[in-house]
Amino acid sequence: MPHAIPRRALLAGLLAAPARAQPAWPNRPVRFVSPFAPGGPQEIPARIIAEYLSPRLGQPVIIENRPGAGSALGTQVVARDPDGHAFLFTTTSFATLPAVMKEPGFDPFADLVPVTLVSESSLVLCCRAKAPFADFAALLAAAKAAPGAISFGSAGIGSSTHLAMALLQDRTGTRLLHVPYRGVGQSLPAILAGDIDLWIGDPVIPQGQLQDGTMRALAVTTAARSPALPAVPAMGEAVPGYAVPFWFALLGGRATPPEAVRVLMDQLTPLRAPDSPLAQRMTGLGARLLLTGPTALVERLRAEIPQWQTVARAAGVQPE
């Protein structure tokens, strides 16, 4: 006759079984922290991914906007999260911030855990329909002929748009007049009013003006043409080696366990299929879906952070 299992051991086993069945991560709601004000371009992929992950993780994934200090505030919130359930959904600004802030309040490598690049697209450089330069080559020629006479509006000193144009000037030996605004939302009316000659930003923003002919797209900031604007040349075609992709990325705080990165990538990988909701939406916005995992994100940051620090110094940007 088999030995009976002691009652105490049986009870202990029954109590322990549910605990072993529960996932180690996540065991509470997951937060995607956007370090920008609501309504930015990063919200589209962030919300699609959050809605996709919530039922698969068994926990709600909440979008939380924490703008301030040029995206440093929201990044600090994630870096200091104590339980590994907060993630930063950010943009290229994560790589440019160390170039413009002496003390951003976090170390991009020590305090954040890379999860994945999400997608990348291009910025677009535009002019008014009646601008005197017909194309990008004519713009460069005009800028060389009259240094400082042609103005461009950016989203602010040290912003991705400012530094993209600073890099262009460095690579082409031109000098443009920089006019900083508090975001691309203010610079768009400025070019339409004739206050500036050039506008640079996400191609989705001036879509109406490009379609009705009040603005013209001169070039996109990537090495190859954008699928959203296939007729518009890439700056890399005229300026060898020039490439400024605009990307989104997901990073965890320093307390993020390796299990969390593994679980997230296991769940996100199916979204890379061309017919996934995220892939289709990003393609419609002229972006390329990546979801390549942590290694590619680390490599991107190690290349771009020092690049933008060098560009900012050359442009006379003083870190504050």
- Which domains, and CATH codes, for the chain? 29-120+247-314 (3.40.190.150), 124-238 (3.40.190.10)
Tell me the pLDDT of the chain averaged across its residues: 90
Which amino acid is located at 270 in the chain?
Answer: P
pLDDT in tens, 92-139: 999 999 999 989 999 999 999 999 999 999 999 999 999 999 999 999
Is the torsion defined by CA of 287, 289, 292, 297 positive or negative?
Answer: positive
The answer to which of 131-135, 180-184, 230-234 has the lowest mean pLDDT is 180-184
DSSP letter, residue 284: H
Q: How many other C-beta atoms lie within 10 A of the C-beta of residue 63?
A: 17
pLDDT of residue 9: 43
**Which runs of consecutive H residues, i.e. helices, occur in the chain?**
7-21, 43-57, 72-79, 93-100, 136-145, 160-172, 184-193, 207-212, 235-238, 258-268, 277-284, 294-314
pLDDT in tens, 27-78: 999 999 999 888 777 788 999 999 999 999 999 999 999 998 889 999 999 9
Indicate the pLDDT class of residue 16, thresholds 50, 70 and 90.
very low
Residues ≥6 apart with Cβ < 8 Å to 158: 70, 96, 99, 100, 312, 317
How far is 209 from 206, CA to CA, in rounded Å?
5
pLDDT of residue 185: 79
* Whether pLDDT at 18 is above 50: no
